[in-house]
Structure 1
């Protein structure tokens, strides 16, 4: 599916800004990449491909994303770590009813303060993006990770 260069650049910028915000630990910015009524889901590939609804994390509004940010910054105790996203170029799969359906591969690396960097999570984003007065935003972000084995807790957004 072809989109004009300005639209493709806007999608690319959305992906880059998202990764930059979560990699820099600016958690308050994370919900602002989404519409008010949105979906953010982290799901194993096996469940996604079989159509099973079970997800590791399933948030259904911007308010729930903000609650997650509060938990990350105020209530969850964990060993701090850095994460770094490497995101492939987005592929626009289709455009329908003012919604852009796009995908991109991702790899997230994690670095604990006293350890070497490791591969933390790898998969693909399956996104529904809409144009808003503030620019492009995610109406839905599905993070489908490839491995069935993941760390016992995923604190930060993928």
Structure 2
């Protein structure tokens, strides 16, 4: 069972993450993750069958920073805004001492991301669930792993920004 303070920290982490990504504050995005981490955007079908193929897959904070470089300097795309709507997290497992440096939380949270291009109506862009492993650090909770399992087998051909 997770205490309210820890639950609130998880909710705050999700809210802060969404605010940073939705505002394109790219310099802050990698800071949500441990140095060695996993960030993956994967179709539900592949995830459920244990298949490794993912739309995006990064294995370190350095790789996340490289993605930011790509977003800013090398990828050409129609600009768009995105807006996250994130459900309440379900802490499915906790190990280590609560509130201590060895605490690890496994969390599942539903999400929906809407995309708006400047000259178009908003549209549902990506819907699914986050499967997170969070580690407690001196700077608060950080993602050791964030797997974004999206429900549709089809995605738009321009998955540029993090989900």
TM range (shorter): over 0.9
Q: TM-score, normalised by structure 1?
A: 0.98
Distance, in Å, in 2 between the alignment partners of 1:32 and 1:73 is: 17
In structure 2, the partner of 1:60 is 59
Which consecutive residues of structure 2, in runs of 5 or more, have no partner in the other structure?
Answer: 97-102
Q: TM-score, normalised by structure 2?
A: 0.95
Which consecutive residues of structure 1, in runs of 5 or more, have no partner in the other structure?
Answer: none
Distance, in Å, in 2 between the alignment partners of 1:55 and 1:103 is: 19
Give 1:153 deviation, angstroms. 2.0
In structure 1, the partner of 2:132 is 127
In structure 1, the partner of 2:17 is 18
Between Structure 1 and Structure 2, how many residues are aligned?
157
In structure 1, the partner of 2:100 is none
Q: Secondary structure at the match of 2:145?
A: strand
Deviations 1:88-125 (A, max 9, x none): 00000001242100010000000000000000000000
In structure 1, the partner of 2:3 is 4
In structure 2, the partner of 1:91 is 90
Distance, in Å, in 1 between the alignment partners of 2:140 and 2:132 is: 15
Contact conserved, 2:77 with 2:158, CA < 8 A, in 1? no
In structure 1, the partner of 2:43 is 44
Structure 2 residue 155 is matched with structure 1 residue 150: yes
Distance, in Å, in 1 between the alignment partners of 2:143 and 2:124 is: 25
Contact conserved, 2:20 with 2:26, CA < 8 A, in 1? yes
Runs of 4 or more, structure 1, over 4 Å off, are none
In structure 2, the partner of 1:106 is 111
Give 1:9 deviation, angstroms. 0.8
